[in-house]
């Protein structure tokens, strides 16, 4: 389940917890997690530099906290089925930072 706030943040509630997505082109800012630790949040628009080509799409797969991924996808039209499809060009897995 998700909620769009008037700050243009999208809050996702799941059994794994709460995820916050900053939509649009906002500057980065600090939010506090459930343990009181500060976390930097960047808007999705600020990630456009990840695109290999301006026509590529960014897919944020964040439904499971332990398996967060950002994929760069190319859109194409399947000739046989005449449907829009996507091919993953590059995938980045987001891990929780640790201090060791």
Please tell me the distance from the alpha carbon of residue 27 to that of residue 25, in angstroms, as a whole number. Answer: 7
Please tell me the distance from the alpha carbon of residue 56 to that of residue 61, in angstroms, as a whole number. Answer: 16
In a domain, 100, yes or no: no
Assessment of whether the complete model's pTM goes beyond 0.85: no
- Give the pLDDT of residue 32: 87
In a domain, 38, yes or no: yes
* Residue found under tokens 């706030």: 5
In a domain, 75, yes or no: yes
Q: Specify the number of domains making up the chain.
A: 1
In a domain, 74, yes or no: yes
In a domain, 46, yes or no: yes
**Range(s) of the domain holding residue 51:** 2-94
In a domain, 11, yes or no: yes
Please tell me the distance from the alpha carbon of residue 58 to that of residue 18, in angstroms, as a whole number. Answer: 21
Tokens of 8: 């243009």
Report mean pLDDT in 10-residue bins for the chain, 100 residues. Answer: 84 80 84 86 79 82 76 86 87 74
In a domain, 57, yes or no: yes
């Amino acid at each position: 389940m998700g909620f769009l706030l008037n700050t243009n943040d999208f809050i996702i509630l799941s059994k794994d917890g709460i995820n916050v997505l900053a939509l649009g082109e906002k500057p980065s800012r600090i939010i506090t997690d459930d343990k009181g630790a500060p976390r930097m949040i960047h808007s999705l628009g600020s990630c456009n530099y990840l695109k290999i080509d301006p026509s590529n799409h960014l897919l944020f797969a964040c439904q499971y906290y332990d398996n967060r991924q950002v994929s760069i996808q190319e859109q194409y039209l399947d000739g046989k089925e005449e449907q829009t499809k996507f091919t993953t060009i590059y995938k980045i897995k987001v891990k929780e930072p640790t201090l060791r």
